[in-house]
Each structure stands twice: as C-alpha cells, then as structure tokens.
A and B are shown apart, each in its own frame.
Chain A
Amino acid sequence: MNEEKKALVELMLGGSEAAFDELYRSSSKKLYRMAYFITGNRSDSEDILQETFVKCFLHRDKLREPERFESWLYQILVRTAWRMEKRKKSRSELSFEGILDQEEDHVRADWIEEDERGKGPLVVILEAETAGQIREALRKLDVKYRTVILLYYYNELSTKEIARVTGTMEGTVKSRLFKARKLLKGILEAEDIMEGEQERGICHG
C-alpha cells in the first residue's frame, strides 16, 4: 500500500467521510468485479458492494493496522457474498444467472479480437472455446472454491492471506486451490492446448 492510500485509510479510521469516499472511488470497481465473480449476478453484486462499504465505515474501529485495509475489505466482501449465497441457496435460488452466459458473446468477441493480431484463426477459435470451457468449469465450482480461485489469480494473494480473508485454515485453502486447478487443468489437457505448467508455491497432492 502506498503512503497516499495509507494516509487516506488513517483519515477514514479517524472518521473522515471524505477519505472514505476517496477509498470507495479507488476500489469500488475492483470489489464489484470480485462480487460478480463470486455470485455471478449483477444485482447481488451491487448489493454486496454497497453492504461492504457500509460495514467498512460502521466497523472501521475494528481495523487496527491501516496497512491491512485491502485484505480487511476483501474479508468483508467475501463474507457478505457468502452469506448472500447461503441465503439464496436456502431459498433454492440459482446463482450465476449467467455471468458468463450473458457476457459470453461479447467477451468471446473481445478475446478473439485481442488475439487476432498475433495468431492464426484456428488458434484463436480454440482459445475462445477454451475460455468457454473454463467459464463453464468455474460456474460449476462451489462458491468457496470460486472465491479461492478469485483471490489467488485476480487479487494475487498468497495462500496465507487467502486463509485470513476467508477465515479458513491455510491447508484448506491449498486443498481448495489444488482441486479447482485440477479440474481446470483436466479441461485444458482434454483440449490439448496446454504445453506446460508452472507452479506458484501451491501444495500438490
């Protein structure tokens, strides 16, 4: 966290709503996207985003170290999202209204357009197909697995930090990450487009 942001967090912790507004503006898009990845529902994600920031300000006295602001905010968001998913599950509502379905066409189009410059058409189509496979696989994952994938690949948190954010043991995080990756790896290998794989300190086994 840079000094400017740290100063804003300190001001917010002291009760400055102006600082709170700035922190909201600098991180709301990212947090909305995180909520969307977890729930797959735009309307729920708007609610989760709002609730996350409301809780952030109301419970700011619980954040002892300003440097931990981001992971603390992720923690609020993840738990708010999980609670909402749990409620929906109990009402047998389906999440993932189709994040990925509704967006599929244009995302796929973007994907193709972006890759067109350096690759042949067959490779581009194969990759677009793979994107669809990954999307489908992610959609099938339990919300807790999806969260771990999100925090690891999108937020680039370590397994230790993910454990703190999700309130689980680091071993559980590693296990969830491993299972999710195994599933996705299987899909990619089936497509025969993966040549190698590098690890980033994750437990295998």
Chain B
Amino acid sequence: MARTLEEQLKRFINTELDSITPDMDEERRLLEIHKELNKRSDFMKFRKNKFAVALTSIMVIMLFGTVTAVAAGKITGYISTSDEKTHSAAELRELSKTKMQTSPKIPDNFSNGMTFVNGYISEVKGVDDDNNQVITYSEVYANYGGNQQVTLTSNVHQDMASEDSDLPGQNEVYQDIKLTAKEELYLFLPEGKEPTEEDKKLEEEGKLTISYGSGQEERKLFRSVSWSENGIDYLIFTFADKELNSLTSMAKEVIDMK
C-alpha cells in the first residue's frame, strides 16, 4: 500500500468534501443573496449619498413592497439584479432592444431642461412564498436631472405582475392613452424600528406605505405617472419637489416621442 501522507490527506479531504452539497438550491440561495444585497445597499448608499437612499428605497418598495398589489396572488416578492449603468440614452435604447426584444421610449432630454444622466437594465424575478421563481422580465431604468430627480421605468407588460393599487389616482387620457397620476406618502424606517400607532393606522387606511431598511426615519412624498403603450408599461416617478402636472407633462413628451 504505497501511499504517502500527502496523497492520503488530499484524497481523504477531496472525497469527504465532494460528497457534500448545500441543502438550499443554488438559485434560491442566489435570490437570498440578492435580497440581502438590496437591503444592505441602502445602508451603503446612504452613507455615500443621502439622496440616493430615497431612490434606492423606492426600488426596494417597488420590488419587495408590492405584495398586496400583485394581481395573481402568487408572487410575494421581487428580486432585481442590475447591469452596469450606462451614461448614454442611445446606448440604453440599444440595450433595451437587445434584452427586451422591443424598444421602449427613452428620451435624451425633456423640454423642462431635465437631461438623461444614467440608466440600466434590471432583471426582475418574481418569487413566491418559497422563493420559487414565478416570472422573470427585464425593466429599464432611466434617470434624469441632477441628483437623479426623475426616473422613468419601462417593461414589457406582465399580467402576473400587474399592480392593482387601491390608491385613488388622477386619470387623464392623452393620445388615446390613459395616464394615471398618483401621490403616495412613504415612511422609511431603520430596520427594527416600530412605527407609531398613528402611522400604523394611516397604513391600514391606505394613506401611508411603511418601508424598512433606511438609515434613518424619513417621510417622503412619492409622485408618479403611469401608462401603457404598445404592450409596454411605463412609470415616471420622483421624490423631489416636483408637481404632478410637471411629471404628467414629461409623460406626454415620452408618448409624443417617435
């Protein structure tokens, strides 16, 4: 039995370890990692840029907080993974064409002076209670103005992921397209902080959305305009001090874009 200690040890360790595999499925673990990354990115970005937390937080709300707004009732959470940011609207349009097999409208700038700052494509996965992937689709994010004041998102319409919010909105028809404008109040709380009874009551009444994972307690008004055109769902939103009619005008410019 000519076997050296080196060989025996190497063989022993490899044999032992090769028989071991994680209990959790590889893809499900990856979803958990992205959930954790989404959560912790808030804190990381908050330290670097205070304003960024608002936009990041709204991403988290949009991706994780729509539990009650999901029509199909199966999807209980969303995980997103994003590509590297591009600083060219033309490049983002090209990327969208490749990844989404369609061409959402992404303007270079708006007549109010807001110009394209950066954008990226996010791969969104809708998961059920057991973290099983139910749907997956690409969503385009385009940020405009200094400090990314306004964000335009677009994705191919997904029946399963359609939101059915009870919040009243102002509806308007433009070029045969229905625009819905909304104002929603969000309360961002640090992880583990309990909302007050008053805030809980407002949440129950649908007047407030509470989101956890922020670095500090903040109240922000989220204004948005949404519409669908040619099978693509659009949403333009801001946390900045911008009136709804200003957002609606920007939405109309997107619709007018050829």
Let me know if B173 is at the binding interface, CB within 8 A.
Answer: no
Name the prevailing secondary structure of the B interface residues: helix
Contact segment of B76-84, B141-149, B177-185, B241-249:
B76-84
CB < 8 Å neighbour of B44 from A11, A53, A58, A107:
A58
Decide yes or no whether A74 CB sits under 8 A from chain B: no
Residues from chain A with Cβ under 8 Å of B5 in the complex: 181, 184-185, 188, 194, 197
Q: A18-B83, A131-B12 are in contact. Are A197 and B33 (CB under 8 A)?
A: no
Q: How far is the CB of B5 from chain A (nearest CB, A)?
A: 5
Within 158-187 of A, Cβ neighbours of B (below 8 Å) are at 181, 184-185
B3: chain A residues within 8 A (beta carbon): 193-195
Q: Are A197 and B6 in contact (CB under 8 A)?
A: yes
Shortest beta-carbon distance, A81 to chain B, in Å? 14
Answer yes or no: B13 CB below 8 A from chain A CBs: yes
B257 within 8 A of A: no
Tell me the count of chain B residues lying within 8 A, CB to CB, of chain A.
Answer: 40
**Within 8 Å of chain B (Cβ to Cβ): is A14?**
yes
Question: Could you tell me how many residues of chain A have their Cβ less than 8 Å away from some Cβ of chain B?
Answer: 55
A103 and B13 contact, CB distance less than 8 A: no
> Which listed segment binds A: B20-28, B60-68, B152-160, B225-233?
B20-28
CA distance A106 to B21 in the complex (A): 14
The answer to whether A33 touches B17, judged by C-beta atoms less than 8 angstroms apart, is yes
Cβ A111 vs Cβ B15 within 8 A = yes
Chain A residues closer than 8 Å to B84, beta-carbon distance: 11, 14-16
Contacting residues, chain A, for B1 (C-beta < 8 A): 123, 193, 195
Listed by A's residue number, 29 A-B pairs whose Cβ atoms lie within 8 Å are: A14-B84, A15-B82, A15-B84, A16-B83, A17-B81, A17-B82, A25-B30, A29-B22, A32-B22, A36-B20, A37-B17, A46-B23, A57-B33, A57-B37, A103-B19, A103-B20, A107-B16, A130-B8, A134-B9, A134-B12, A135-B16, A149-B13, A153-B10, A153-B13, A185-B5, A193-B1, A195-B1, A195-B2, A199-B6
Residues of B within 8 A of A (CB): 1-10, 12-24, 26, 29-30, 32-34, 36-37, 40-41, 44, 81-85, 123
